[in-house]
Chain A
Amino acid sequence: MEILVCVKNVPDTGEEEIELDGNDLDYDELTYVVNEWDNYAVEEAIQIADKVGGNVTVITVGNEDADEVLRREMAMGAGNAIHLEDEAFEKSDAKGVATILKAAVDKGKYDLILTGAQADAGYGAVGGMLAAMLDYPYASLVNKIEVGSGKLTVGREIEGGNTEMNEIELPCVLSIQTGINEPRYVGIKGIKQVSGVDIPKFAASDLGLDESSVGEEGAIVKRQDYFIPEAGEGAEMLEGSDDEIIAKLIEILKANGGL
């Protein structure tokens, strides 16, 4: 099975407070990592290829910094990587990214295309758009995959902890939910081993793309800024020394049937 996994380099925001520089992110304060969902997608692809045979290719749309993400996923075990890089791709909306990926998919032959269920912008849109452009069937939020003959049985995570089981024909596009597997650890040694690998790059012209259909020019959905919403009433913040805060908290617990 030929498997393509779409991955993305995203800001690592973790649990820390996000710093703004005016109405934009403070990029000096940001480190970038592979989108969390994508690690699960790559792990799943590797496990499928190990089980039924085949190759795993990771692909990204991104600037030169995204190279690191592709190498990290190769160190996990993806055999090939493709880097779609062009100034004309910058500030693409989800449809733009799907358009670029579709052009790259058309140059290859893949049985299964995986994406993460969502990335930093939270649209969760690229996989479903890519599938619709390719006229492939699509299933989102996949947390279980069993390979059959010419088809897959996939579980989708739906509300209430339930799983919706579907049969889907190949080729298809799936968006992968976190928790489907345990992504393997990537050590520095593994990354070193792939540091010299030549990763093919394709620009808009290589993909036969009209530059006006992608990037900022092609985008019909545009983010205007970042902002921290004005706080509403919100929580009553408990303040004071640690002992005072804990004493107040214990009173609140007692008053509300907590102790």
Chain B
Amino acid sequence: MAQFFAYVQHADGVIEDTAAELAAAAKAMGADSVTAIVTGSGVDAAASAAGEFFNEVYKIDNADLAYPNAEVVRKAVAAVVPAGSVVLMSHGTFAMDMGPGLSIKTNAAYIADVTGIDGVDGTTLKVVRTELGGNISTHVNADIANGAVITLRPGAVEPAAGGVGGAVADKSGEAGDLSAKRKFIEVVTPEAGGVDITKAEVLVSIGRGIEEEDNIELAMELKEAIGSKAEVSCSRPIVDAKWLEPARQVGTSGKTVKPNVYLALGISGSFQHLGGIKGGIIIAVNKNPNAPIFQAADYGIEADILEFIPALTEKINDL
């Protein structure tokens, strides 16, 4: 049986909630024992916290790891995990940066954005993931005889219970050469000002289904009809197309919102988008009855938004 590891992300001494999901995922793959890997500079608090969910914690403390530069962290992780190990990470912008290269350097299988775990049969790991923008699922078999690097979609599995009480082992001396040809400079946060969608009670949120820039007006008219408590937000493709400003984007790479009502209009419902909606009821309007948004929404309407939005606007104006 392969050894199981989980790379645990943390900030300010607090580990991410996804750590407990990684522990649960490893168990679902048959792990008896799971070792957390915590890297950084001055990481005692985070390493101790990881012991809550893991049987052992490898701490790698080094000034070069102060910011999680994937090119540097990859070297440290590859240095401390034995050949044939399974390394789990939470699927996000860090895992996407480190995972593929780590799998090459450890000669392991790479399986990204896993949404379900069916189990292990011999050296075959069976998982579920999505393709084609999340619109369809697939069963995937991976040969993990030489180990695996697996990124797990946040929220895909129920988090493991705490209280494990794993001890911290200091592996800082084993990290080896941490020089890298990519250097972290800084994190730039977007400038404040302009529209603040996080304060709106109702979000009229549009996605690819709006089809053309000129149709943005339909959403603006619906917002006007609802009144001052409403604001227009959107999913990523609308910002990519420069039809609306980045401050209006909802999702993990945009804003996290908590309105009373979230009107998802022509939004398919990728997990990155849904990750930005943290409260209220979701009402989805989409012409594709299999759109993932209908699984996340409270109420759904199968309709073409280009016809539905003006009809709704008119009725609200008549109230």
Residues in A lying within 8 Å of B, measured CB to CB: 11, 13-18, 20, 25, 94-95, 98, 117, 120-129, 131-133, 136-141, 153, 155-169, 172, 178-179, 182, 220-229, 231-232, 234-238, 242, 245-247, 249-250, 252-253, 256-259
Task: Give the size range of B's interface with the partner.
Answer: 35 or more
Contacting residues, chain B, for A14 (C-beta < 8 A) = 208
Q: Are A137 and B109 in contact (CB under 8 A)?
A: no
* A48 CA to B163 CA, complexed, in Å: 53
Contacting residues, chain B, for A238 (C-beta < 8 A) = 299-301
> Interface on chain B toward A: helix, strand, loop, or mixed SS?
mixed
B103 within 8 Å of A (CB atoms): yes
Q: Which residue of chain B has its CB nearest to the CB of A140?
A: B97
Q: List 7 A-B contacts (CB under 8 A).
A: A15-B287, A131-B101, A158-B94, A161-B253, A162-B188, A236-B300, A252-B281
The 3 residue pairs across chains A and B that have the minimum distance between CB atoms: A128-B100, A235-B300, A132-B104
Residues in B lying within 8 Å of A, measured CB to CB: 69-71, 92-94, 96-105, 109-113, 129-143, 146, 180-190, 201-202, 208-209, 226, 229, 236-237, 239-240, 242, 246, 249, 252-256, 260-261, 266, 268, 280-284, 286-291, 294-303, 308, 311-312, 315-316, 319
Q: Contacts A15-B266, A223-B131 given; 9 further ones with Cβ under 8 A?
A: A17-B289, A121-B131, A138-B101, A158-B94, A164-B184, A226-B131, A237-B302, A245-B301, A258-B260
Q: Are A165 and B187 in contact (CB under 8 A)?
A: yes
Q: Are A234 and B300 in contact (CB under 8 A)?
A: yes
Q: Are A128 and B101 in contact (CB under 8 A)?
A: yes
Q: Are B182 and A161 in contact (CB under 8 A)?
A: no
Contacting residues, chain A, for B254 (C-beta < 8 A) = 161
Interface residue from B94, B100, B132 paired with A132 (Cβ < 8 Å) = B100
* A136 CA to B289 CA, complexed, in Å: 44
Contacting residues, chain B, for A247 (C-beta < 8 A) = 315
Q: Are B301 and A237 in contact (CB under 8 A)?
A: yes
* A257 CA to B226 CA, complexed, in Å: 11
- Distance of B211 from chain A, by nearest CB (Å): 9
* A153 CA to B185 CA, complexed, in Å: 9
Contacting residues, chain A, for B289 (C-beta < 8 A) = 17
Q: Are A15 and B208 in contact (CB under 8 A)?
A: yes
- Distance of B137 from chain A, by nearest CB (Å): 5
- Distance of B308 from chain A, by nearest CB (Å): 8
